[in-house]
Amino acid sequence: MSHSDLVQDNLVSLQTHVLAEEARHPGAEGDLSWIISAISLSGKTIANKVRRARLDDVLGAHGTENVQGEQQLRMDVIANEIIMRCLGDRASIAVLASEEDEEPRILRKSNEGGKYCVLFDPLDGSSNLDSAVGVGTIFSVTRNDANEPDGERTVCRPGTEQVAAGYILYGSSTIMCLTTGNGLDMFVLDQAIGSFLRVRTGLKMPERGAIYSVNEANASSFPEGYQRYLADAHASGYASRYIGSMVADVHRTLIRGGVFLYPPTQKNPTGKLRLLYEANPMAMLIEQAGGLAFSGDRRTMDIHPDRLHQRVPVVLGSRSEVERVQSFL
Ligand code: AHM
Ligand code: MG
C-alpha cells in the first residue's frame, strides 16, 4: 500500500479552493478570498447557533419588524449580527446590504479600499426553524462603483454584474454552494475539523426533472399560465416537493432537477422573493450549473433593480423544465 492510500480524506478546503481560483485571474489581490473566508466563518457560527437554537431558547419572535413589515425572529437578528460582525472588518468591503436592514451599511469608500459590496439574506426560511427543517444564508458579491456615492444605488445592479454568489444550507449537513463565475462548486462542513471541504467542482444540475416545488395553496391566485402549467404537471405524473425554505428547495432542485417557483399571488402581486438577496444569487448559481432562472418573461439576472428590497416572481431550475413553464406563461 502506498502512503497516499493511508489518507482517504478529501483535503481541498474552501480556502484553498478560493485562493486557487483567484490565482487564475492575473492581478487579483486576494480580496475576494478574504470576503469568502468571512462568509465561511459566519456560516460556521450560524450553523452552530441553528443547531443549538432550541437548547439556547432563541426560537421565536424578537418583537421587531423588518423593512418588509415582517416579524423578525430572534434567530434572524442573531444571524444578521454575526454576518455584520464577520464581514464588517474586512478591509475590501465597501457596502453591506442585508434583507433585514432598511438601508445598506456603508463601511468605506473605494478610495479607502472598498472594492466590493456584499448583499445577503442572513437566515432565509427562518420561520421553519422551530420545526427543525433546513434553513440557509444566501449571499451575493458585487463590485463597488467608485463613482456612485449613494449606497442604495451602488448595490442596485443587475445580477449579471455579480462576481460571486452562494448559499449555506443548514440542513442534515451544512453545505456551501459557491460560484465565482467559473462553474458551481460544493463544499460540506466537516464539523470535526471545522472546515468546509470541497466535494464537487463544476456541478451540473439535471437537464430535466419531473418535480415542481411551489406553495400550491396559493395556486388559485397565480396568473393563469402558472395554473395551466400545474394542471399539465398533474396530468403528466409529476412529483411535488415543497419545504418552504428557498435554500433547501433550491438545493434539492440543483441535485435532483425540476423547477422551483414563487409566482405572483394576490398577497404578493410581484412575487414574494427579493431580487437582490434571493433571486439573483440563486439565478447565478443555477445558471452556472446549466439551469435557467426567469422572473416573468425575463431572465432574472437581466433585471435592472429600481430599489433595494424589490420583489420579483421566480422560476428557476432544470433548463427544459423552466422552458416548459415559460411555454405556459
Ligand atoms: P424569508 O426571507 O422571510 O424567510 O422568506 C423567504 C421564504 C423562502 O425561503 C421560501 O421560499 C418562501 O419564503 C416561502 O414562502 P411561503 O411560506 O409563502 O410559501
Ligand atoms: Mg429570505
The pLDDT tens digits of the residues spanning 13-69 come to 999 999 998 888 877 888 999 999 999 999 999 999 999 999 998 898 888 888 778
Determine the residue of 101, 124, 275 to mutate for testing ligand 1's pocket, defined as the one with the most ligand atoms within 8 A of the Cβ atom: 124
Lowest mean pLDDT among 64-78, 200-214, 274-288, 289-303: 64-78
The pLDDT score that the predictor gives to residue 260 is 98
User: With a 6 A CB cut-off, is 326 part of the ligand 1 pocket?
Assistant: no
Residue 283 CA to residue 25 CA, distance in Å, equals: 23
Q: From atom 14 of ligand 1, which residue's Cα is the shortest distance away? A: 244
The pLDDT score that the predictor gives to residue 16 is 94
Distance 160 CA to ligand 2 centre (A): 20
Q: Given a cut of 70, is residue 1 above it in pLDDT?
A: no
The ligand whose atoms approach the alpha carbon of 125 most closely is 1
What are the residue boundaries of the structural domains of the chain, listed by start? Answer: 3-200, 211-328
Distance 23 CA to ligand 2 centre (A): 33
Q: What would the pLDDT profile of 195-209 be if each residue is shown by its tens digit?
A: 999 999 999 999 999
User: With a 6 A CB cut-off, is 68 part of the ligand 1 pocket?
Assistant: no
The pLDDT score that the predictor gives to residue 102 is 93
The ligand whose atoms approach the alpha carbon of 66 most closely is 1
3-200 and 211-328, same CATH topology: no
Residue 44 CA to residue 193 CA, distance in Å, equals: 11
Helix or strand run (H / E) with residue 295: strand 292-295
Distance 262 CA to ligand 1 centre (A): 9
The pLDDT score that the predictor gives to residue 316 is 98
Determine the residue of 272, 310, 312, 316 to mutate for testing ligand 1's pocket, defined as the one with the most ligand atoms within 8 A of the Cβ atom: 272
Please report where in the chains the cell 434539492 appears, as a residue.
252
User: With a 6 A CB cut-off, is 265 part of the ligand 1 pocket?
Assistant: no
Q: Given a cut of 90, is residue 322 above it in pLDDT?
A: yes
The ligand whose atoms approach the alpha carbon of 70 most closely is 1
What residues have a C-beta under 5 A from ligand 2, the ion?
121, 124
- Which residues have a Cβ under 8 Å from the Cβ of 197 and sit 6 or more positions away? 9, 10, 11, 12, 13, 14, 187, 188, 189, 190
**Nearest CA to 42 among 164, 159, 189, 153?**
189
User: With a 6 A CB cut-off, is 311 part of the ligand 1 pocket?
Assistant: no
The pLDDT score that the predictor gives to residue 172 is 96
Give the residue-averaged pLDDT of 305-323. Answer: 97
The pLDDT score that the predictor gives to residue 138 is 98
Instruction: Determine the CATH number of domain 211-328.
Output: 3.40.190.80
Distance 245 CA to ligand 1 centre (A): 6
- Which residues have a Cβ under 8 Å from the Cβ of 5 and sit 6 or more positions away? none
Q: Fold for domain 3-200? A: Fructose-1,6-Bisphosphatase; Chain A, domain 1 (3.30.540)
Distance 278 CA to ligand 1 centre (A): 10
Q: Which atom of ligand 1 is found nearest the CA of 260?
A: 11
Query: What is the reported pTM?
Result: 0.96
Strand order of the β-sheet with 105-106 is 105-106, 93-98, 116-124, 135-143, 162-170, 174-179, 184-190, 195-200
Residue 321 CA to residue 292 CA, distance in Å, equals: 9
